[in-house]
């Protein structure tokens, strides 16, 4: 006799999934969301936007930083990382973030783990000013190892067409401001994990220079720069660069017009203990370090020289440190000095 099977037998817990959707719906309260979590799609009211608004959208994930979260069984900060990676890309275009959707994929839903992830996502949305309007939870038994999952995020914002920040107005003599990072953010973790493994480093080991354990330093959530960028957007920045994978070389390089060169004075960048520690473990050339990690600069802003002092003061008033790190001249690409 053939035994009758059901979906639960394959490892998919539909009942728990529905319970967690209810948890999300009961914790969502935003008048801008007309039809939100729980439906087939969400509807967001944009009737109050400007006269000539452009919709801006992007997507990203957290990457292998999640492996550190798995190892430490700590999941309440990676949701902030998830929101930050997209929110920071939005504001780099001069956009105001509007709403966010998440995708959580796992082998088997674990209620406490899920709620920790969502706690971080909600905190990230709060910091960035976005509404969490929905997402997708995929339970795929046998696809992920026990206790593991993957995250993806999708963000939408808007900007007036004439206020788009795209690098086209970069000129010789422009100054580059660095806005501090909060550690490695969400990039370069494949190398970080390799270094930890090769050197047999205990993530729970306390490091005096970090004022916390190695694991806590590596799980510090990515800064969300919405307020910092908002504080300088009326100054007319010529470019805003989110420093992610590829470091300052790739991310500043991508906004430079032909014939323009960015010169970065790395001695102006305050040293962070984490990067000094990683540099010692990796034994890499300086240029390679600045192509791998953000090295203390999470965002770079390029604007006219006469606006530098005001911009730095405004960013500091938003609660994050900022400092002059370079200038623009004729040439090509990004050079360090």
Instruction: Answer yes or no: do 132 and 231 share one domain.
Output: no
Percent pLDDT > 70 in the chain is: 88
Does 2 reside within a domain? no
Query: Do 151 and 118 meet the contact criterion of CB atoms below 8 Å apart?
Result: no
Instruction: State the pTM of this model.
Output: 0.88
Q: Which alpha helices (H) appear in the chain, and where do they start and end?
A: 14-26, 65-72, 78-91, 111-128, 189-198, 214-218, 226-230, 247-253, 273-282, 286-292, 308-317
Instruction: Answer yes or no: do 108 and 241 share one domain.
Output: no
DSSP string, 282-297: H---HHHHHHHS-TTE
Distance between CA atoms of residues 205 and 155, nearest Å = 36
Q: Total structural domains in the chain?
A: 2
3-state SS class at 102: strand
Higher pLDDT, 23 or 131: 131
Q: Provide the pLDDT for residue 18.
A: 58
Domain boundary, last residue among 135, 163, 191:
163
Instruction: Answer yes or no: do 11 and 156 share one domain.
Output: yes
Question: Residues 219-242: pLDDT tens digits?
Answer: 999 999 999 999 999 999 999 999
Instruction: Answer yes or no: do 158 and 184 share one domain.
Output: no
Instruction: Answer yes or no: do 127 and 180 share one domain.
Output: no
Does 1 reside within a domain? no
Instruction: Answer yes or no: do 143 and 189 share one domain.
Output: no
Instruction: Answer yes or no: do 33 and 157 share one domain.
Output: yes
Distance between CA atoms of residues 194 and 198, nearest Å = 6
Does 168 reside within a domain? no
Distance between CA atoms of residues 58 and 61, nearest Å = 11
Q: List, in sequence order, every residue forming a beta bridge with 51; answer none if it has no partner.
A: none
263 has pLDDT over 80: yes
Domain boundary, last residue among 142, 163, 184:
163
Instruction: Answer yes or no: do 268 and 210 share one domain.
Output: yes
Q: Check which CATH number belongs to the domain holding 237 and give it.
A: 3.90.650.10
Q: Provide the pLDDT for residue 17.
A: 55
Instruction: Answer yes or no: do 240 and 310 share one domain.
Output: yes
159 has pLDDT over 50: yes
Q: Check which CATH number belongs to the domain holding 94 and give it.
A: 3.30.1330.10
DSSP string, 122-175: HHHHHHHT-EEEEEEEEE-TTTS-TT-EEEEEEEEEEEEGGG---STT--TT-E
Does 288 reside within a domain? yes
The set of residues, in sequence order, having a beta carbon less than 8 Å from that of 229 and lying 6+ positions away, is 91, 92, 94, 240, 299, 301
Instruction: Answer yes or no: do 198 and 262 share one domain.
Output: yes
Instruction: Answer yes or no: do 121 and 244 share one domain.
Output: no
Query: Do 239 and 253 meet the contact criterion of CB atoms below 8 Å apart?
Result: no
Domain boundary, last residue among 105, 136, 163:
163
Does 223 reside within a domain? yes
Burial class of residue 263 (count of CB atoms within 10 Å of its CB; 0-12, 13-18, 19+): middle
Q: Provide the pLDDT for residue 50.
A: 78
Residue count of the chain: 337
Domain that holds residue 249: 175-336
Arithmetic mean of pLDDT, 262-270: 97
Higher pLDDT, 50 or 238: 238
Distance between CA atoms of residues 307 and 315, nearest Å = 12
Q: Provide the pLDDT for residue 46.
A: 81
Instruction: Answer yes or no: do 240 and 137 share one domain.
Output: no
Q: Provide the pLDDT for residue 1.
A: 46
DSSP string, 301-316: EEE-GGGHHHHHHHHH
Does 109 reside within a domain? yes
């Amino acid at each position: 006799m053939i035994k009758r099977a059901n979906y639960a037998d394959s490892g998919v817990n539909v009942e728990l999934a529905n319970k967690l959707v209810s948890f999300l719906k009961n914790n969502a309260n935003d008048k801008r969301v007309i039809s939100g979590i729980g439906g087939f799609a969400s509807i967001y009211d944009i009737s109050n936007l400007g006269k000539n608004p452009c919709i801006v959208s992007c997507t990203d994930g957290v990457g292998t930083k999640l492996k550190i979260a798995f190892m430490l069984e700590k999941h309440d900060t990676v949701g902030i990382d998830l929101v930050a990676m997209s929110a920071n890309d939005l504001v780099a275009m001069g956009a105001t973030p509007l709403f966010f959707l998440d995708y959580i994929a796992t082998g088997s839903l674990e209620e406490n783990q899920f709620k920790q992830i969502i706690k971080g996502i909600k905190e990230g949305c709060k910091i960035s000013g976005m509404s969490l309007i929905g997402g997708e939870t995929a339970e795929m038994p046998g696809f992920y190892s026990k206790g593991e999952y993957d995250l993806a995020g999708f963000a939408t914002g808007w900007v007036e067409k004439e206020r788009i920040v795209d690098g086209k107005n970069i000129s010789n003599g422009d100054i580059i401001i660095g806005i501090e990072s909060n550690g490695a953010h969400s990039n370069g973790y494949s190398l970080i994990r390799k270094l930890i493994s090769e050197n047999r480093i205990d993530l729970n080991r306390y490091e005096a220079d970090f004022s916390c354990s190695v694991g806590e330093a590596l799980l510090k959530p990515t800064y969300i720069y919405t307020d910092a960028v908002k504080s300088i957007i009326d100054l007319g920045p010529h470019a805003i660069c989110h420093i992610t994978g590829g470091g300052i070389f790739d991310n500043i390089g991508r906004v430079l017009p032909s014939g323009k060169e960015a010169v970065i004075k790395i001695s102006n960048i305050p040293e962070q203990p984490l990067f000094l520690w990683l540099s010692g473990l990796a034994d890499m050339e300086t240029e390679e370090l600045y192509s791998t990690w953000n090295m203390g600069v999470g965002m770079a802003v390029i604007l006219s020289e006469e606006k530098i002092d005001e911009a730095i003061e405004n960013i500091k008033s938003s609660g994050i440190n900022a400092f002059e790190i370079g200038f623009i001249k004729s040439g090509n690409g990004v050079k360090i000095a």
